[in-house]
Structure formats: C-alpha cells, structure tokens
C-alpha cells in the first residue's frame, strides 16, 4: 500500500488550524505518528479514514483520491478511534460479531463466528469471550478495539493512541500484537505521545507539532541528531536542582542518596558528565526543546 498525503490542512469551523500543510508518504509496515497533546494526530487520522474532510490538500491511497473513492477505500480500512467505547450489554464475542456484521463481512454465520474466535485468540481475549465487553479492563477493551478494527481484514489499520493509560504489562502485550500484525501484508499507522511505542515497533515515523511535521524519517535519523548532546552524571540534591533548572532532564534514577541523571545539553553540563548513546526519548526531548523552542525546563 502507498499513501500519499499532499499539502494537507484542516481548519475547523471555529477557525482553528489543527493541521497545516502536511506532506507525508507512507508505505507498508508500521508508521508511527508521534506528537504531544493537540499536535493534530487525531485530526489527521480522521481524514485518512474518511470520517472528516480536509480543508485543503489531498490524500491518495494506491493512487486513488480518498474522497472521490470512499466506497472503494473504506472496506480497506480498520480504525480504532482514540475515544473508542462499547455498547452496553454485549458480551465480548457478541461485540466482535456485531462489528463483523457492520463491516459487511460477506461470509456465512458459522465462518464469521470462527473468525470472531480466531481474532479473540489473537488478541488474548478468548478466555473472557462471555464477559460483558463494557466490564473488561482498560487494556482488554483496547485489545478488543484492535480486534474490532481487524475484523474486516483491512489492508490499512489506523490506531489512535492505543496505549494511553495502559499499565506496562498491557503496553508490552499491545506492542507485541502490533509487531505480529506488521509481519503480515498490512500498513499500520499508529499515533502516540509515548516515545517507547514508536521505538519498539516502527521503522518509519513522523513527529507532529502544532499541526506541522517537525520530523519525518526513520527513528534512527531523529536519534542521530541528538548524538553529541546526551549526558549522564551522578549528582547530589543541590547539584541536581541547579542542573534541572538549566537543562531538560530526560530521566533520573536514585542511587545511594544521589541522582543518576540523564539530560540534554549543547555543552558539557558538569565536570563529571559523560556523553552517552542516545535513544528516541532523548531525541524527542531535544526536538521539543532545541528545535521547536518549547521550554521543558
Ligand atoms: N472539532 C474541532 N473543532 C475545533 N478544534 C478542534 C476540533 N477537533 C480538534 N480541535 C483542535 O485541534 C487541535 C488538534 O487536535 P487533535 O485532537 O487532532 O490533536 P491530537 O494530536 O490528537 O491530541 P491528543 O494527543 O490530545 O489526542 C487541538 O488544539 C484541538 O483542540
Ligand atoms: Mg488525539
């Protein structure tokens, strides 16, 4: 699949420009859309899945303009909205069966039920298939949401902040489901403000900020830009207070009454500081602070 987003803008009726002149190309595999609250991730995704129209610009999927070809394109798409909720009084399997009917999956009832159980198995919910969907835990609901998005055998899966609010175990489980999926012939667009979701799953990414693309490419490319500016130093309370008022701190670990601190600085921040290998979290903070001028200090 090839998605081409050209000069895309979305101005809401109140005049607010949530997306401004976005250009992106997205191919097979997992594509991560990283950005803080309000960056425009959900606005962009709703346009991609044809739930709302852009004010300007175009999106083509495999050469087809999406609005002119809605009927053709919609069956290709599975979508998990950010604010996904369930109907009352449906058991977990019933909800999925209902979703199958909605997605006009044109198969016999027996095969449909088989497909429902196969998907429940895939997302680890077969054991709770009889439980009411709205009584599932937050993580389980999100996994049912993925199953719902997959029921029509989509070629494009669009998932909006699927890991927000999940505990670490559920988050890892979710990432594993996604990386299993990405082995298949499917394009997955994942939005998140959690850097770890991207670094553990995506080979391609874009960072959005105030409706614009601040970075587009491989995560390694973004990491390379911060290469010389990540420092680690172990310091006491006083020194820590001084440093954190001066530089953005990415992480701290308390060690024997001291703080092992990782921070971003253009110059050596402390005589004992050493350069360390950066990862995406460092790059994200560097971009926010140094490229976009958002003060995190
Ligand atoms: N229907 C709307 N009318 C007016 N403004 C809107 C509308 N929907 C979104 N916005 C605004 O557009 C901006 C981008 O919103 P959007 O939901 O796309 O961001 P996001 O990156 O998904 O944020 P979050 O991480 O909080 O989900 C925000 O400032 C939001 O308040
Ligand atoms: Mg959103």
> Tokens 């253009």, residue?
266
50 and 189, same structural domain?
yes
111 and 131, same domain (yes or no): yes
193 lines ligand 1 (CB under 6 A): yes
Question: Looking at residue 135, what DSSP letter applies?
Answer: G
Residue with tokens 């009584």: 135
**Within-domain flag for 148:** yes
Q: Is the CB of 162 under 6 A from ligand 1?
A: no
pLDDT in tens, 121-137: 999 999 999 999 999 99
| Digit-coded pLDDT (tens) for 3-28 | 999 999 999 999 999 999 999 999 99
Last residue of a domain, one of 165, 196, 217: 217
Nearest CA to ligand 1 atom 7: 12
190/265 same-domain check: no
Instruction: Please tell me the distance between residue 192's alpha carbon and the centre of ligand 2 in angstroms.
Output: 8
In a shared domain, residues 209 and 237: no
Residue 182 sits in the same domain as residue 67: yes
pLDDT at 104: 67
Which of 14, 18, 161 is the best mutation target for the ligand 1 pocket, counting ligand atoms within 8 Å of the beta carbon and taking the most? 18
User: Are 60 and 136 part of one and the same domain?
Assistant: yes
Q: Which of 171, 193, 217 marks a domain boundary?
A: 217
Residue 207 lies in a domain: yes
Q: Which residues surround ligand 2, an ion (CB under 5 A)?
A: 41-42, 82
In a domain, 171, yes or no: yes
Give the domain-ending residue among 153, 182, 217. 217
Q: How confident is the model at residue 105 (pLDDT cuts 50, 70, 90)?
A: low
In the chain, the number of structural domains is: 2
Q: What is the pLDDT of residues 52-95, one digit of tens each?
A: 999 999 999 999 999 999 999 999 999 999 988 877 789 999 99
φ, ψ at 192 (rounded to 5°): -165, 160
Determine how many CB atoms are found less than 10 A away from the CB of residue 279. Answer: 17
Q: 197 CA to middle of ligand 1, Å? A: 21
Residues 182 and 232 in one domain: no
Is 51's C-beta closer than 6 angstroms to any atom of ligand 1? Answer: no
Nearest listed ligand to the Cα of residue 81: 2
Task: Please check whether residues 72 and 136 belong to one and the same domain.
Answer: yes
Instruction: Identify whether residues 128 and 264 lie together within a single domain.
Output: no
Determine, yes or no, domain membership for 296.
no
**209 shares a domain with 242:** no
Is the CB–ligand 1 distance for residue 14 below 6 Å? Answer: yes
Which residues constitute the domain of residue 143? 3-217
pLDDT at 126: 96
Residues 120, 202 within the same domain: yes
279 neighbors 229 (Cβ within 8 angstroms) = no
Ligand 1 contacts CB of residue 38 (under 6 A): yes
Structure tokens at 95: 């909800």
Say which ligand is closest to the CA of 43. 1
The preferred substitution site among 9, 34, 38 for testing ligand 1, maximizing ligand atoms within 8 Å of CB, is 38
Q: What is the pLDDT of residues 257-278, one digit of tens each?
A: 999 999 999 999 999 999 999 9
297 within some domain: no
**How far is the C-alpha of 297 from the C-alpha of 218, rounded, in Å?**
27
Is there an atom of ligand 1 within 6 Å of 232 CB? no
Please check whether residue 97 is in contact with residue 148, taking contact to mean a CB–CB distance below 8 angstroms: no
CATH number of the domain residue 165 falls in: 3.40.50.300
Centre of ligand 1 from the C-alpha of residue 46, in Å: 11
Question: Closest ligand 1 atom to the C-alpha of 14?
Answer: 4
Average pLDDT over residues 107-114: 88
**Shared-domain flag, residues 102 and 213:** yes
Phi-psi region of 268 (alpha: psi -120 to 50; beta: other; left: phi over 0): beta
Q: Report whether 218 contacts 31 (CB < 8 A).
A: no
């Amino acid at each position: 699949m090839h998605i081409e987003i050209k000069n895309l803008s979305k101005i809401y009726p109140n005049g607010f420009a949530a997306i401004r002149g976005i250009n992106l190309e997205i191919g097979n595999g997992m594509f991560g859309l990283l950005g803080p609250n309000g960056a425009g991730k959900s606005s962009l995704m709703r346009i991609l899945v044809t739930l709302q129209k852009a004010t300007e610009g175009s999106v083509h999927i495999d050469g087809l303009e999406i609005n002119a070809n809605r009927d053709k394109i919609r069956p290709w798409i599975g979508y998990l909205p950010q604010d996904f909720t369930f109907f009352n009084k449906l058991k977990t399997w019933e909800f999925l069966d209902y979703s199958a009917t909605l997605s006009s999956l044109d198969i016999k009832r027996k095969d449909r039920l088989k497909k429902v159980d196969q998907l429940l198995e895939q997302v680890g919910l077969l054991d709770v298939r009889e439980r009411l969907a709205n009584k599932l835990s937050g993580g389980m609901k999100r996994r049912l949401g993925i199953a719902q998005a997959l029921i029509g055998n989509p070629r494009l899966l669009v998932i909006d902040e699927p890991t927000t609010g999940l505990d670490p175990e559920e988050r890892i489980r979710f990432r594993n489901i996604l990386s299993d999926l990405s082995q298949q012939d499917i394009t997955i667009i994942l939005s998140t403000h959690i850097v770890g979701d991207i670094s553990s799953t995506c080979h391609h990414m874009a960072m959005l900020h105030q409706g614009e693309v601040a970075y587009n490419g491989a995560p390694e490319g973004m990491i390379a830009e911060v290469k010389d500016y990540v420092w680690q130093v172990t310091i006491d309370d006083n020194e820590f207070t001084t440093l954190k008022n001066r530089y953005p701190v990415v992480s701290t670990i308390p060690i024997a009454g001291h703080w092992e601190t990782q921070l971003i600085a253009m110059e050596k921040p402390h005589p004992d500081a050493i350069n360390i290998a950066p990862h995406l979290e460092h790059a994200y903070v560097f971009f926010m602070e140094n490229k976009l001028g958002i003060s995190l200090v």
